[in-house]
């Protein structure tokens, strides 16, 4: 399993990670739960929740208030 990216907040605390599994970029929170997907496009990275809804930023998936 390869880690593609580690996500951290402004205080550099780890809030999640993206892993490549079966040719999909899957985003996990710090507890290991799948929270979304990442699609790489010409415009950059686009993030989707598990229902397929486009989210504005990775923080929407990883930071729960």
pLDDT digits (tens, 9 = 90+) for 11-23: 888 989 999 888 8
Is the confidence at residue 49, as pLDDT, over 60?
yes
In order of 19, 23, 37, 54, the CA distances from 64 in angstroms are 20, 27, 17, 17
Averaged pLDDT, 20-45: 90
pLDDT of 24 over the 90 cut: no
In angstroms, what CA-CA distances link 41 with 17, 47, 65? 19, 11, 29
Please report the pLDDT score of residue 1 as a whole number: 57
On the question of pLDDT at 59 being above 60, the answer is: yes
User: Residues 27-43: what's their mean pLDDT?
Assistant: 91
Number of structural domains in the chain:
1
pLDDT confidence of residue 35? 95
Domain that holds residue 9: 2-62
């Amino acid at each position: 399993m390869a880690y593609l990216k580690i996500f951290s907040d402004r205080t550099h605390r780890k809030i999640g990670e993206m892993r490549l599994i079966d040719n999909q970029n899957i985003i996990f929170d710090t507890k290991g739960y799948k929270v979304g997907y990442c699609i790489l496009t010409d415009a950059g990275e686009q993030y989707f929740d598990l229902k397929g809804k486009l989210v504005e930023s990775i923080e929407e998936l990883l930071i729960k208030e």
